[in-house]
């Protein structure tokens, strides 16, 4: 696993691991401002490859799982909000919410352009709102039952 990660890191200047940590040239980016700046610049080309561009050209980013991580879930009125690793917040789009066979929730974020993997604490918080009906789970908000879709993987 470490060797596989090292190979990916050598092909790209940037790498994002499954917990949302950024690495540049194999070194973890610890400076909060740099970390947030990279997240703000993250984009995706027409082939689905991730990159950052500071104005001098694209630097491609290898992403282990999803480029964003949901750190927190909370309810406000009839909506569930997601707090992402880039310190932004958005309303959960239930239409994009899926749960893998490994019980890891994912949802689309950033105007449905990017995937976000729920951290373990955020996944537990999400399921705090869930109810079971037969073999299915749903979250009821505003009188609407939002059933959780099960998928093999993202």
Q: Examine the domain organization and report whether 79 and 47 are in the same domain.
A: no
pLDDT at 56: 87
The mean pLDDT of 124-151, rounded to a whole number, is: 94
pLDDT value at 93 more than 80: yes
My answer on whether 44 and 77 are in the same domain is no
- Give me the CATH number covering residue 20: 3.10.540.10
Tokens of 139: 């979250």
* Residue 7: band (very low, low, confident or very high) from pLDDT cuts 50, 70, 90: very low
Contacts 24+ apart (CB under 8 A), 137-140: 137/99, 139/80, 139/94
| For range 118-143, the mean pLDDT | 95
DSSP 8-class letter at 147 = E
- Residue 93 to residue 29: CA distance in whole angstroms: 30
pLDDT at residue 10 is higher than 60: no
**The predicted structure's pLDDT at residue 6:** 46
**Residue 118 vs residue 152, higher pLDDT:** 118
Q: Which domain holds residue 135?
A: 68-151
The answer on 108 and 53 residing in a single domain is no
- Claim to verify: residue 42 and residue 12 sit in the same structural domain: yes
Q: What angle do CA 96, 84, 121 make, to 5 degrees?
A: 85
Count: domains in the chain: 2
Among 6-10, 32-36, 51-55, 85-89, the least confident range:
6-10
């Amino acid at each position: 696993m470490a060797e596989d990660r090292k190979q990916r890191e050598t092909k790209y200047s940037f790498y994002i691991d499954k917990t949302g940590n950024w690495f540049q040239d194999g070194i973890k980016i610890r400076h909060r401002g740099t970390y947030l700046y990279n997240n703000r610049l993250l984009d995706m080309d027409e082939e689905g490859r991730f990159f950052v561009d500071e104005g001098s050209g694209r630097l491609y980013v290898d992403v282990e799982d999803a480029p964003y991580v949901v750190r927190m879930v909370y309810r406000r009125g009839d909506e569930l909000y997601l707090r992402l690793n880039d310190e932004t917040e958005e309303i959960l789009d239930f239409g994009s919410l899926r749960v893998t066979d490994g019980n890891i929730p994912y949802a689309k974020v950033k105007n449905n352009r990017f995937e976000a993997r729920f951290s373990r604490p955020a996944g537990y918080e999400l399921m705090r709102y869930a109810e079971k009906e037969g073999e299915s789970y749903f979250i009821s908000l505003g009188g609407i039952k939002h059933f959780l879709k099960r998928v093999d993987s993202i």
